[in-house]
Homo-oligomer: A and B are copies of this chain.
Amino acid sequence: MRFSKATNYALHSMLFMIGEASNKPVGVQYLAEKQGVSPAYLSKILTKLVKAGLIDSVSGANGGYTLGAQNKDVSFLDIIHAIEGTASLFNCCLDGKTECLIQKVMVSAEQAMEERLMVQKLVDLVDQKAVGK
From B93, B112, B125, A102 is in contact (CB under 8 Å) with B125
The answer to the question of A133 belonging to the interface, with a C-beta cut-off of 8 Å to chain B, is: yes
Residue tally, chain A, CB below 8 Å to B? 40
Q: Quick check: A2 and B90 within 8 Å, CB to CB?
A: yes
Do A3 and B3 contact each other (CB < 8 Å), given the known contacts A92-B8, A105-B120?
Answer: no
Do A109 and B117 contact each other (CB < 8 Å), given the known contacts A1-B1, A2-B87?
Answer: yes
Q: Quick check: B1 and A101 within 8 Å, CB to CB?
A: no
Extra 17 A-B pairs, beta carbons < 8 Å, given A76-B109, A105-B125, A109-B116:
A1-B1, A1-B3, A1-B7, A1-B84, A2-B90, A3-B89, A3-B90, A8-B92, A11-B102, A12-B92, A12-B102, A36-B94, A76-B105, A101-B129, A105-B120, A105-B131, A112-B112
